[in-house]
Amino acid sequence: MTADPFLQPEDASAAEAIAAIGEELEVFDDWMERYQYIIELGRKLPPFPDVWADDAHRVPGCQSRVWMEAVARDGRLYFAAASDAAIVSGLAALLLRVYSGRTPAEIGATDPVFLKELGLLEALSTNRGNGIASMARIIRERAAGA
Cα dihedral 56, 116, 85, 24 sign: negative
What is the structure's pLDDT at 136?
94
CA distance to 15, 44, 45, 99, per residue, from 12 (Å): 8, 19, 19, 11
pLDDT tens for 77-89 read 999 999 999 999 9
Task: List, in sequence order, every residue forming a beta bridge with 82; answer none if it has no partner.
Answer: 67
Mean pLDDT, residues 110-126 taken together: 84
* Catalytically annotated residues: 62
**pLDDT one-digit tens code per residue, 24-60:** 999 998 888 999 999 999 999 999 999 999 999 999 8
Q: Is the pLDDT of residue 76 over 60?
A: yes
What is the residue type of 131?
A: G
Sketch out the chain's domains with CATH numbers: 14-145 (3.90.1010.10)
Average pLDDT of span 15-21: 97
Q: Is the pLDDT of residue 1 over 90?
A: no
Q: Any idea what DSSP says for residue 58?
A: B
| Residue 2 pLDDT | 64
**Predicted TM-score (pTM) of this structure:** 0.93
Q: State the average pLDDT over residues 6-25.
A: 96
